[in-house]
Chains A and B, each alone.
Chain A
Amino acid sequence: MSDTARDDEAIRRCLAGDREAFGELVERYKRPLYAVAYRLLGDSGLAEDAVQETFLRAYRALGRFRRGDPLAPWLYRIATNLCHDLGRSRGRQAPGLDEGQMDRLADPADQPDEALARRETQRRVREAVASLPEKYRVLVVMAHQQGMSYEAICQATGEPLTIVKNRLYRARHMLKEQLTAYYEEGPPETAHSGPTGRTPAEASATLEGGVSADL
């Protein structure tokens, strides 16, 4: 059963009054939603609020969700809009750079200096992403953290394909511009060797936290 079909089945049961079915959706999507919210807001407390509010709104609106569409982009759309407002009410446009417990843990195989270089690269890249205007940052997180397809990003943002492609192109260009100096200063070993052990193409196709692969 595809992820969309599995979600659709849960939604059907939920609409019929089976509240446990909603629990299945919550369990399936709370981690990827939290990951997106955390990277957009840079604050675990606010991200937690955003995820909870996303599920509350999704339940209250489930009756108008178009059955057969993938659920994840719909949830991301609700979550990213809430993050936008939470970020604004906090009075900051760019997310914080919380280096907290939720950041990717160092690979145990890394040597101490490699781990240090890798953490520094992660910090620089997060800084560069955080400095992007919000409309670009959201797309970068969707594409490179969640590995969402262009089609799924279009559904999640409500923007047409040409706009999504154009903004992603510009966002990546801005990131490259910002990071060129860092790489040229002395590119860390980790930068080109694939610290996650995955190629970008694999990372794009594989989704974190059990999000449906057919997004």
Chain B
Amino acid sequence: MFPLTCSEVLPRLNDLALGLLEPREEEQVRVHLNQCLSCRKRLDASLALFTDLTDALAVSGPLPEGLGDGLTDRLLLQLPDLPGREDPLAGTSLARKRAWWQAGVLGGLSLAAGAGLWLTLLLLLPESAEEALRLSAVTLGRMLLNTSAGLADAALLILQGFGLVLRNLNLWTLAGVAFGLVAVELVAASRSRHTRWDS
């Protein structure tokens, strides 16, 4: 068993004060504390703080009148006979934040999928493969050197690819691509809506 250093002991002092360390780990920390006044002082500071926190944050005494005996009856008056399956956080800022994240992720996925698809199709078209490779290399280089110009090039490339695809592919293929994108979005949406307490 190697003795612990101060930097290894410090992150464990709070858990030691709260009695959360495993016995073996606690023993290692205590061996260090027996030899280190500085860490013992820090442990004392943690113990003092935690005692004061428990004391200062406690809430005792009678509850407000509105939370007294009639609370359940008043609540049930406002509720249906059976519990439901609503989102308990609906309308809260956390839910709105989650919705924005979902929209962002979905939008990002769609853009990435769309861009990847057009570029792939562009590269696969035999009559334009050389030109497409050249354009892709130039675009990649410019993106590494200058983001805004590179992005403009990438957008141009995608548009060119769009035109080529429109000229060379039939309606059924486009419909298939659109269907694939919608399927990807639906799968992503259903996964991101799943919250940890959902059954």
Q: Which residues of A contact B (CB under 8 A)?
A: 14-15, 17, 19, 22-23, 26-27, 30-31, 34-35, 38-39, 44-45, 47-48, 51-52, 55-67, 69, 74, 77-78, 81-82, 84-85, 88, 101-105, 118, 121-123, 125-126, 129, 140-141, 144-145, 150, 155, 158, 168-169, 172, 175-176, 179-180, 183, 187, 190-192, 194-196, 198-201, 203-205, 208
Inside 8 A of B84's CB, which chain A residues have their CB?
Answer: 59-63
Q: Most chain-A Cβ atoms within 10 A of its Cβ — which of B47, B59, B78? A: B59
B71 touching A140 by the CB < 8 A rule?
Answer: no
13 A–B contacts, CB within 8 A, in A order: A15-B82, A51-B67, A55-B75, A59-B75, A62-B84, A84-B93, A85-B92, A85-B93, A102-B60, A169-B11, A172-B46, A191-B48, A196-B51
Other A-B contacts than A26-B71, A204-B50, 10 sampled, CB-CB below 8 A, are A30-B67, A51-B67, A52-B66, A58-B88, A60-B88, A69-B197, A81-B94, A129-B53, A194-B51, A195-B52
Verify A66–B197 contact, CB threshold 8 A: yes
Closest to B75 in A: A55
The reply to whether B94 and A191 contact each other, CB–CB distance below 8 Å, is no
Known contacts A65-B199, A81-B89, A104-B55, A30 near B63 by CB under 8 Å: yes
Bound complex: CA of A84 vs CA of B79, how far in Å? Answer: 24
Asked if residues A129 and B75 are in contact (CB atoms below 8 Å), the reply is no
- From known contacts A19-B81, A60-B84, infer whether A175 and B53 are also in contact, taking CB-CB under 8 Å: yes
Asked whether B79 lies within 8 Å of A66 as measured between CB atoms, the reply is no
The answer to the question of B87 belonging to the interface, with a C-beta cut-off of 8 Å to chain A, is: yes
Residues of B within 8 A of A198 (CB): 51, 54
Are A172 and B93 closer than 8 Å at their CB atoms? no
Chain B: minimal CB distance from A45 (Å): 8
Please choose the segment from B15-23, B109-117, B138-146 that sits at the chain A interface, where 4 or more of its residues have CB less than 8 A away.
B15-23
Residues A88 and B72 in contact, CB atoms below 8 Å apart: no
A201 to B45, CA, bound (A): 14
Interface hits, B82-98 → A, CB 8 Å: 82-89, 92-94
Chain B positions within 8 Å of A, measured between CB atoms, are 11, 14, 17-20, 44-64, 66-67, 71-72, 75-76, 78-89, 92-94, 196-199
Instruction: List chain B residues, Cβ under 8 A from A14.
Output: 83
Q: Determine whether the beta carbon of A204 is less than 8 Å from that of B53.
A: no
The reply to whether A168 and B14 contact each other, CB–CB distance below 8 Å, is yes
Q: How near does chain A come to B11, taking the closest CB pair, in angstroms?
A: 7
B57: A residues at CB distance < 8 A: 39, 125-126, 129, 140-141, 144-145
